[in-house]
Amino acid sequence: MQQLSLDEWPMGLEEDALQVALEPDEITRRTNLRFERGRDSLDEFDGAVVALDEGQSFAFQRHVHSPTRGTTVLLRQGSRDELRALINLVSLTKKDITWMAPHIETELASVLRDGQRGGRRIALALVTLGAAGAVRKLISGRAKRTRADRKNKLQA
């Protein structure tokens, strides 16, 4: 992973995916990323772009005059590796995620199903954001195995 300058913002990286309840200074404390001042069609913003080794990337964007707290995370649709890297880099918890685009629910569930690090945090975020059914389906197989394992141990 490496940080890119705003001038190197990758083409196609423009879809709001998550809103996190973290201001740029908190993200900097957690990640050592440096936010730069930029301007888009809405307003001036503070932004940071992260490039992954595989040519993928994600970005943080906080509009200067936004009336709400938090920072937007921009991802490409279908970007499971980017999402996994984001969660691990920032150490996101359920209380950090205040909004997610509908297509991200599937990606979060996929990361959870793959058993990637941070899966418990993702499950908590999904439950908090109303995707409890998806989480139950994903973890029900594991819960059934756990019950069967306990039963076998008791019988042994």
Read off the pLDDT of residues 87-129 as tens digits, 9 standing for 90 and up.
Answer: 889 988 767 888 888 878 777 666 655 644 444 444 444 443 4
Per mean pLDDT, which range of 2-11, 56-65, 104-113 is the poorest?
104-113
Residue 7 has, within 13 A of its CA and on its CB side, a CA count of: 0
Q: Are 140 and 109 in contact (CB under 8 A)?
A: no
Distance, CA of 17 to CA of 107 (rounded, Å):
11
When pLDDT is cut at 50, 70 and 90, the band that residue 78 belongs to is low
Distance, CA of 53 to CA of 66 (rounded, Å):
32
The answer on pLDDT for 49 being more than 80 is yes
The answer on pLDDT for 47 being more than 90 is yes
Q: Are 71 and 33 in contact (CB under 8 A)?
A: no
Domain residue ranges in the chain: 2-155
The answer on pLDDT for 37 being more than 70 is yes
Share of the chain above pLDDT 90, in %: 31
Q: What angle do CA 40, 45, 50 make, to 5 degrees?
A: 95
Phi, psi of 80 (to 5 degrees): -60, -45
pLDDT of residue 154: 53
Total-model pTM = 0.68
Give the residue, 50 or 95, on which the prediction is more confident.
50
pLDDT of residue 155: 53
For the chain, what percentages of helix, strand and coil (3-state, to nearest 5) are there?
A: 45, 20, 30
